[in-house]
Structure 1
Amino acid sequence: MKTAFEDLSIKLKNKNIRLSHQRLKVLEYVANHRCHPTVDQIYSDLHKEIPTLSKTTVYNTLNTLIEAGLVKLITIEDNETRYDIVTENHGHFKCESCRTIYDFEINIDSFNSKDLNGFRIDNKDVYFKGICPKCTNQNN
């Protein structure tokens, strides 16, 4: 399901983010590519359509969208930063064979540990790694 350009424009306006074609295209890309893309993927795909786009613009736009709460940063691997349009708490599963990242529902908000009493929790992320059913079936 494609997210309408107009809907994305409204989201940016509601967050007082200055509208630009490049910002809209980056947000549209993340909204329509639920693969949890990297900056390189976003830049590579959008640069074909917008030759004046720079990787710095992609980084800056994503940081603005994260600060506005429109995009979530995920780091399943230490050396790999990805971006997610789903900002509500949920988990991620990364297939170690095909490298696909899947979203799954989990009630992170109900998690409570006595070991964390007195700690201020700013972020809750759950990451699993393994082999997805598609890859498991291919190996059988």
Structure 2
Amino acid sequence: MKKNFEDLSRELKNKSIRLSHQRLKVLEYVANNRCHPTVDQIYSHLHNEIPTLSKTTVYNTLNTLVDAGMVKQITIEDNEARYDIDTESHGHFKCESCGSIYDFEINIDSFDSKDLKGFKIKHKDVYFKGICPKCISHSNDKSN
């Protein structure tokens, strides 16, 4: 289910999370830009509009939203945290050519391994990497 900004704002209020201007702008950006943005992308976009915004505020806001279960932090590359407004179980595909990240439906709960018997699994994430159709098409156009 796609969450809109108004519903998310109400959810923040219902969870007794302070609705500061900066916090609402970060939430609005993540809700309206479903490209799985990084902190740097969010900060760069909002800094012109809110000159007093700091990266620390963006980090703290995102951590608050993650802790509240309203945003999911995903890490496809070792050193790159991204943020996803869709907190339902789904997979991610990252194009190695253009860097875009795509969501796809998958039944993550069906993944099970007898090798992990006795382990307590806290998170199940599915990430694929490869080349997206747009980049494949672009590559084919260049070679013709």
Q: Same fold (TM over 0.5)?
A: yes
SS at match of 1:139: helix
CA contact (8 A) 2:90 2:108 kept: yes
* CA-CA distance at 1:2 after TM superposition: 9.1
Distance across 2 between alignment mates of 1:50 and 1:8: 21
Which contiguous aligned blocks of 4+ residues in structure 1 show a shift greater than 2 angstroms? 1-4
Partner of 1:16: 16
Partner of 1:73: 73
Partner of 1:102: 102
* CA-CA distance at 1:69 after TM superposition: 0.3
Distance across 2 between alignment mates of 1:111 and 1:14: 34
Distance across 1 between alignment mates of 2:107 and 2:7: 28
Aligned length: 139
* Structural mapping, 1:54-73, within 5 Å: 54-73=54-73
Aligned-residue Cα RMSD (Å) equals: 1.4
CA contact (8 A) 2:3 2:85 kept: no
Partner of 1:136: 136
Instruction: Provide structure 2 residue ranges, at least 5 long, that are not aligned to the other structure.
Output: none
CA contact (8 A) 1:8 1:24 kept: no
1:3 aligns with 2:4: yes
CA contact (8 A) 2:73 2:81 kept: yes
Distance across 2 between alignment mates of 1:77 and 1:8: 28
With the length of structure 1 as denominator, give the TM-score of the two structures.
0.95
Q: Which digits, 9 at most, give the CA deviation of each residue in 1:39-66, with x for residues without a partner?
A: 0000010111111111000000000000
Q: Which digits, 9 at most, give the CA deviation of each residue in 1:53-111, with x for residues without a partner?
A: 11000000000000000000000000111000001111000000000000000000121
Instruction: Provide structure 1 residue ranges, at least 5 long, that are not aligned to the other structure.
Output: none
With the length of structure 2 as denominator, give the TM-score of the two structures.
0.92
Distance across 2 between alignment mates of 1:75 and 1:93: 12
